[in-house]
Amino acid sequence: MHRAAVIGLGRFGMTLARELARYGAEVIAVDNDEAHVEEIRDRVSVAVVADGSQEKVLRDLGVGGVDVAVVSMGDNFEGLQLTVVLLKRRLGVKRVVAKATSPLRERILRSIGCDEVISPERETALRLAHHLVLPRVLEHVALGPGKALVQVVTPPSMVGKSIKDTGVRHRFGVNIVAVKRRVLPDGRPASSGERTLRMAISPLTGLPVAEEVVRPAPTAEAATGGEASPALTGGPGEAREEVLTTPSPEEVLLAGDVLVVIGEDEGINRMVEA
């Protein structure tokens, strides 16, 4: 994706436009609120105060040539529908994404040709539910009914065991497809401390989200009872995160490792609580 249009610069649209530009996309930002446009003007390629539901406005801005257009117009659902129709049927935009605030609106948007409909409130609620029920799960991506890809902190019962010895495939019907681990520059595992979650306010939606926090491990002096051991030291900022893709069955899991696991929800839940 090289060119994108963001129509509607509320909290969601503003953050999206800023992030797309940060990733190198050429962004056209449109809103009828001058203050919003001024706030984003220096961050994007084009920022215009205009009515994004007007065909002439969109044509004059060259929106028909973008790779994706995202429509986020708050409570103006009538304007949102009109904009989606213009983008798809009049301007021929390849991919149109819109934000919906209810299942009914989502169905309406899909029926008029919207390629993708997102519901930040619903998605945030799902993430919060997983956090409350399974605090060790850092990320949950549904792959289909009852199936998911998750990131989960290694359960204490699995620390110090090889993937093979944990028996997760046999016991829970899940597979560990990657391991995320903090390491020092020389490749030695860092004292990563305990990974937990806290609730924070998302700048994208303004709603509560689960945020990963690494609680510092005991200092080297505390761990050795006095003098810092060379094996435990590592200057500030030296640790980095390494991803072990397709880890060996003999890979030993460490405290603080994050496991990327795929399987059925029921099996994942049992593994997390093991």
pLDDT of residue 217: 46
Its domain, for residue 48, covers 3-118
Final residue of a domain: which of 83, 118, 153?
118
Q: Do 20 and 151 fall within a single domain?
A: no
pLDDT of residue 1: 58
CB 260 within 8 A of CB 180: yes
More confident residue, 125 or 91: 91
pLDDT of residue 202: 53
3 state SS of 49: strand
Q: Do 104 and 154 fall within a single domain?
A: no
Q: Do 17 and 86 fall within a single domain?
A: yes
The CATH number assigned to the domain holding 160 equals 3.30.70.1450
Final residue of a domain: which of 91, 118, 145?
118
pLDDT in tens, 18-70: 999 999 999 999 999 999 999 999 999 999 999 999 999 999 999 999 999 99
Decide: pTM greater than 0.75: no
pLDDT of residue 237: 52
Q: Do 208 and 105 fall within a single domain?
A: no
Q: Do 48 and 94 fall within a single domain?
A: yes
pLDDT of residue 190: 78
For the residues of 148-201, what is the DSSP string, one character each? EEEEEEPPGGGTTSBHHHHTHHHHHS-EEEEEEEEE-TTSPBP---EEEEEEEE
Q: Do 31 and 113 fall within a single domain?
A: yes
CA gap 255, 252 in Å, rounded = 10
**pLDDT-derived band at 89, boundaries 50, 70, 90:** very high
Q: Do 142 and 247 fall within a single domain?
A: yes
pLDDT of residue 186: 77
In the chain, alpha helices (H)? 11-22, 34-40, 55-60, 77-85, 103-111, 120-133, 163-166, 168-172, 220-224, 265-272
Domain count, the chain: 2
pLDDT at 140 over 90: no
Of the listed ranges 45-49, 51-55, 150-154, 236-240, the one predicted with least confidence: 236-240
Q: Do 8 and 109 fall within a single domain?
A: yes
Q: Do 134 and 155 fall within a single domain?
A: yes
Q: Do 132 and 254 fall within a single domain?
A: yes
The CATH number assigned to the domain holding 87 equals 3.40.50.720
Q: Do 133 and 257 fall within a single domain?
A: yes
Final residue of a domain: which of 78, 99, 118?
118
pLDDT of residue 206: 52
